[in-house]
Amino acid sequence: MKALNIYNPVKIHFGAGLIGETGKIAKKYSDTALIVTGKNSMQKTGTLDKLVKILKDAGVAPIIFDGITPNPTTYEIDSAAGIARGKGIGLIIGLGGGSPLDSAKAVAVAAKGNIPVWDYLKTTAKEALPVITIVSTSGTGSEVNRYSVMTNTETGEKPGFGYECMYPKEAVIDPEIMLSMPANVTAATGFDVFVHIFEAFTGKAKNAFSSAYCMQAFYLLKDNLIKAYNEPDNIEPRGNMALASALAGLAIDISGVGIMHAMEHPVSGNYSNVAHGAGLAALALESMKYNLNACKKDFMLIAHHFGIKRAGKSDDEYAGSLIEKTKEMLSALNLNIRLKDLGVEKDKLRKIAKEAFDTMGFAIQNNPAEAGENEVLKLLENSY
């Protein structure tokens, strides 16, 4: 019987229009807040201005750091942490998709210490400023877990890390914010949810708690992802995908990710224009084929929950039908892409394979099927 430890202290608030409550929530922690966000979408949609007003109305003085890029770098995080330290900020608010949210947690750690954020890959962080997440996409799961992914400005390495002190205090999940998500972002981040479910549900570290989250997230995703993509103004599928993202985020907080994430991080680490979900889309089908024999029953169970009829299929055929179904889903989301389509250079694949082990080795360890550097290189080549 496998021992297990479960802990997630995030206060999750879900509801349309809930961003309005952020002022009251923030005030519990501090009179000053650093808003960590990106350069574009939260400005364009007016969400950033709205948040600033909400905070001011509640008596919280906001400072904006809007220098987070899609694959946030150690330089950006250390810069924001320097501002937080210098101004004596008491609260970090992450606003946006996975990148600002991940960054907010890393900034909260770095602001408390006196070493560059990269050093926390080797030094355990014991304390961090409180963090509130306000998520604008449905995919990352970062809104409810302790993980942060950052890219080393000098080397292109893109590891994930997460300590207990990095759990957000509160997560504000407001599906109205997601109504403005562009179609390609809905697709890529939504597919990230699928991969979180798949990897947490099939990984070696799976357990009853992560499986509970995975199955519920999957129920929501199968009925709502393509709908959210096709009906961007419909708040119902937006809300359900937001819940699926949070549930899958809780699942990976417990049971981690696998080989798809291990390979994708160095892809988008080296090619910063690649969206994480798009990178996953290019890698998913080959990775699923690779894993099929190691967790056939899990494949069959997901196929069953997907509503795929068994009807005379052998175990192998039925498990394999999940890969077919995933391919259909990718087509419906306009995500049937290969690494080549993302601008990845073929002669970089060996470097990417090596970095998958160097920076995401724990995810390869967790993968249902064993893989060495040559197998990973092969998967990258087959996905090219």
- Give residues in contact with a second copy (CB under 8 A): 1-16, 18, 175, 208-209, 211-213, 215-217, 220, 235-236, 239, 243, 247
User: Cβ closer to a second copy: 221 or 267?
Assistant: 221
Return the number of other C-beta atoms located less than 10 Å from residue 317's C-beta. Answer: 12
Q: Which two tokens stand for residue 310?
A: 């068994």
CB of 370 to a second copy, least distance (A): 25
Q: Which amino acid is at 181?
A: M
Helix axes 183-202, 208-230, angle to 10 degrees: 160
CB of 234 to a second copy, least distance (A): 11
User: Cβ closer to a second copy: 144 or 364?
Assistant: 144
Q: Can you tell me the distance from the alpha carbon of 66 to that of 72, in angstroms, rounded to the nearest whole number?
A: 11
CB of 141 to a second copy, least distance (A): 14
Residue 40 DSSP code: S
CB of 11 to a second copy, least distance (A): 5
Task: Please list, in sequence order, all residues whose beta carbon lies within 8 angstroms of the beta carbon of residue 49, skipping any fewer than 6 positions away.
Answer: 43
User: Cβ closer to a second copy: 191 or 213?
Assistant: 213
User: Cβ closer to a second copy: 110 or 172?
Assistant: 172
User: Cβ closer to a second copy: 14 or 384?
Assistant: 14
Q: Can you tell me the distance from the alpha carbon of 66 to that of 313, in angstroms, rounded to the nearest whole number?
A: 53
Tokens 């109205």 label which residue? 176
Q: How far is CA 299 from CA 93, 165, 289, in A?
A: 38, 35, 10
CB of 259 to a second copy, least distance (A): 25
User: Cβ closer to a second copy: 9 or 88?
Assistant: 9
CB of 15 to a second copy, least distance (A): 3
Tokens 């199955």 label which residue? 215
CB of 304 to a second copy, least distance (A): 11
Task: Please list, in sequence order, all residues whose beta carbon lies within 8 angstroms of the beta carbon of residue 23, skipping any fewer than 6 positions away.
Answer: 54, 55, 57, 58, 59, 60
Asked if residues 150 and 106 have their Cβ atoms less than 8 Å apart, the reply is yes
User: Cβ closer to a second copy: 84 or 197?
Assistant: 197
User: Cβ closer to a second copy: 65 or 201?
Assistant: 201
Q: Can you tell me the distance from the alpha carbon of 369 to that of 296, in angstroms, rounded to the nearest whole number?
A: 11
Q: How far is CA 340 from CA 25, 188, 344, 346, 351, in A?
A: 45, 17, 5, 8, 16
User: Cβ closer to a second copy: 175 or 190?
Assistant: 175
CB of 12 to a second copy, least distance (A): 4
CB of 91 to a second copy, least distance (A): 18
Tokens 């929501």 label which residue? 220
Q: Which two tokens stand for residue 306?
A: 């997907």
CB of 275 to a second copy, least distance (A): 26
Q: Which two tokens stand for residue 372?
A: 């060495």
Q: Which two tokens stand for residue 90?
A: 């008491």
User: Cβ closer to a second copy: 111 or 228?
Assistant: 228
Q: Are strands 170-173 and 131-135 parallel, antiparallel or unpaired?
A: parallel
- Alpha carbon 294 to chain centroid, angstroms: 25
| Residue 266: burial class (beta carbons within 10 Å; 0-12, 13-18, 19+) | buried
Q: Which amino acid is at 31?
A: D
